[in-house]
Amino acid sequence: MTQRVELATVMDRLAVDGLITEYAVAVDDGDWQAYRGLFAPEGRADYRSAGGIEGEASQVAGWLARSMEMFPMRQHLIVNRRVRFGLLEQDTGDTAQVQADYINPMRFTENDDGPMGPDLVSGGRYAFALVRTHDGWRLREVVVEEKWRRSPKRRVPRTPQP
């Protein structure tokens, strides 16, 4: 491999990593316009394993906007990113696959009595399919595989017995 090819690969890895980070930030911040902009025109997302929907990115963004209203605080972390380039048939280096684990703590909306429920935490794995476009790397597909979910019970203070 030449230094030029190695540098191009490093640049692509950084760009792909940046796109995955932008995805997490858009979801956590509820920036659904930015979320839509991360996808290629034919981009799709599949959240069915987490109780969601599958469909075109704009449709899924609308569903996320509605369903995330009950979680005003979100901070999901995407880790252990495994990047593979050029996995499609006849590929010229313009596609990538990323497998990454996630952990996603979310806080429920509060009312006068405090949070409407205990915090929800889930974890699993993403499968991202990316394509290089004139605007840079974009998501062709996002598939969420939720592996676990935890909703801890709130502790209720004991009332002293007479």
Give the tens place of pLDDT for each residue, 97-133.
999 999 999 988 877 666 566 788 999 999 999 999 9
**Amino acid at the residue 146:** E
CA-to-CA separations, 62 to 37, 51, 56, 70, 141, in angstroms, rounded: 13, 15, 10, 14, 16
Task: Quote the CA–CA distance of 32 and 64 in Å, as a whole number.
Answer: 8
Q: E strand or H helix at 24, and its extent?
A: helix 3-29
**What does pTM read for this prediction?**
0.85
The C-alpha angle 97, 100, 105, rounded to 5 degrees, equals 145
The domain limits of the chain are: 3-150
3-state secondary structure of 112: coil
**Residue 156 pLDDT grade (very low, low, confident, very high; cuts 50, 70, 90):** very low
- Nearest alpha carbon to residue 32 among 54, 55, 64: 64
Cβ contacts of residue 115 below 8 Å, gap of 6+?
A: 107, 108, 109
Give the tens place of pLDDT for each residue, 12-69.
999 999 999 999 999 999 999 999 999 999 999 999 999 999 999 999 999 999 999 9
User: CATH fold of 3-150, please?
Assistant: Nuclear Transport Factor 2; Chain: A, (3.10.450)
